Structures are given as C-alpha cells and as structure tokens.
Amino acid sequence: MFLSEVLAVGSAVCIALSSMFVSELNGRVPLLTLARLQVTAAFIMTSVIATALHGWETLGFREVQLLALSGIFGIAIASSTYFATIYAVGPRLTALLFSLTSPFAFAMAYLAFGETIGITQGFGILLILSGILVAIVVRRRLPPAMIPLADGEPTPSKTEGVMSRIGIVLGVITAAGQALGSLLARPAMAAGVEAFAAMSVRLGIAVVFFWFLLVIPRFRLEAGRPETRDLMTVVVSAFFGTAMGMSLLMGALQTGNVGIVSTLSSMTPIVILPMVWIRSGRPPSLAAWGGAFLAVAGITVMSVGL
C-alpha cells in the first residue's frame, strides 16, 4: 500500500480514537464549546510542531490562500453544520450523511483535476463504502453516547418533520464542505507544504471563526467553562483527532488521489468497532463485523488495483 493510503487509514484511526474521548464529554461540555476548545488546542499543537519542523518555510502566498479557503469550508463551515446536524437528527444519521464525503470528493476531483479510477479501484471503493454504511446502520441495545456507529436499538428522535429535513440538508452540506476542503488543500499539499503547517493555517481560520461566534449573545450564553478534567480530555481528543488525524490527512493529500484518500480516511466507523468493544465490554454484532470485513476486502482490492 502506498504511503498516502497508509496516512489516510492512520487518519481514520486517530479520528476514531478521538471520538472515544469526545464521547466522555457528552452532556458535560456544550458542542460548540467543545469545537472551539478543540480547534484552539489543535492549532497550538500543530503550530508548535510546524515551527520545530520548519514547516512555515514551505508556505507560499498561494498555498496560504488555498489552505485558508480549505479551512473555511472543511473545518469552520463543515464542523458547524456537523454539530448542527447532530442536534437536528442525531449522531447515527449524521455519520451516515457524513459518509457522502467520498462520493462528493470523487465528483469534485473529476471536475477540477480530471482524476479517474480504474474498474478494480472503483469496485474496491464500493466495498469500502458498503462496509461503512453497514457499520453505521447497525444498532446496539445501549449505544454509547456520541459514538454514531453503535449497533443498538434505535433511539426515538426528538426532532421530526421540518427539523429532520433541515438536519439532512445540513448533513449533506457537511459532507460537501469536507470534500471541498480536501480538494482545495490538494494543490497546496502537492506543492510540498509541510502537513502540520498546512493544518495550522486551516485551523487558524477555524479558531477565528469559533471564537467570533462568542460575539453572538446566544452562543456566548451557551458557552460553558469546563472543569479541569474535561478540559484535559478535550486536549487529548484534539491531539488525536484534529492535530494528528487531520495532519495525516493533509500528508496523504500530498501524493494521493483525492477520492481514494477521502474514502480511506472515512473508514472511522469501521476502525472504531474494536474500540467500542474494549470500552463497552460488549462485542459488536455480526452485521457490524460484516461491514468491517467488507471494508478490509475493499482496501485489499483497491491496493491491488493501484
């Protein structure tokens, strides 16, 4: 498997691990407060690493512009609509809608770069997407909070009708924003920008955005001051998810096909299954493991076709 594919899978693993820490904060830290603290912590981390690696020297004016736009669509907007989707339709459907990132990425990459894939690669990607969908749809009797792929019994939604429709639209916007963010970052990464410096630029835009939201009275009132223990959990989550996970994604985009990298990095619902097992003490259902095997088969088929 090529380096870009390894980095993309590593990104999925890091984001999955981060979500396990995020699940511990459910009900204790408001989502927008969590987002603001996460991007701030991740920005500090990536900036320090980028400085140590002399990553700032790899940035040019054009690359900064592209990465700033990527941060607007891929982090600031996509993160906001992602959390709004969770509020409207719940985490399970949010994760299902987020899996649309890969098809969006392929469509945008085709229009922008003319990137194409062979029949073998396409079949492998279909297997991976099928595995992701199976893992998300699977349900568990007592799903852990904030883990969108838990295989439990359906939880009655408190939002119906108009709110559900709005939530679906927001979920589609989230997937499109994430795909567009990756697409915009690809030329900058291909030009040789160091991954942590790239993430610092993207996160810097998001930091300004989320802190600016405090100007709005409603968001200022909802902003809480987390306890020290919760704050440490946020920092650990930011390290694995936004700092490491997204930086690995930026590294994968340096040489990887946008569509394939987006597909592999969207395997978080698969790789989190054993983490859920360890955390809850209950093995996922056979259907959940079936989704995982589909994803592994897809990676194997796709790697053969590369």
* Interval 3-51: pLDDT, tens: 888 888 888 888 778 777 777 776 677 878 888 888 899 999 999 999 9
Residues 64, 189 contacting (CB under 8 angstroms): no
pLDDT tops 60 at residue 151 = no
**Residue 206: exposure state from Cβ atoms within 10 A (0-12, 13-18, ≥19):** buried
Q: Which of 107, 68, 120, 109 is nearest to 256 (CA)?
A: 109
**Rounded to the nearest 5°, which phi and psi values hold at 211?**
-75, -30
pLDDT tops 70 at residue 228 = yes
Its pTM stands at 0.73
Per the structure, the complete domain to which residue 208 belongs is given by 3-305
Mean pLDDT of the chain: 77
The number of distinct structural domains making up the chain is 1
Tokens of 165: 């429709």
pLDDT tops 80 at residue 267 = no
Tokens of 118: 């062979």
pLDDT tops 70 at residue 69 = yes
Tokens of 264: 């592999």
Per-residue pLDDT at 136: 61
d(CA 126, CA 304): 15
**Residue type present at position 283:** P
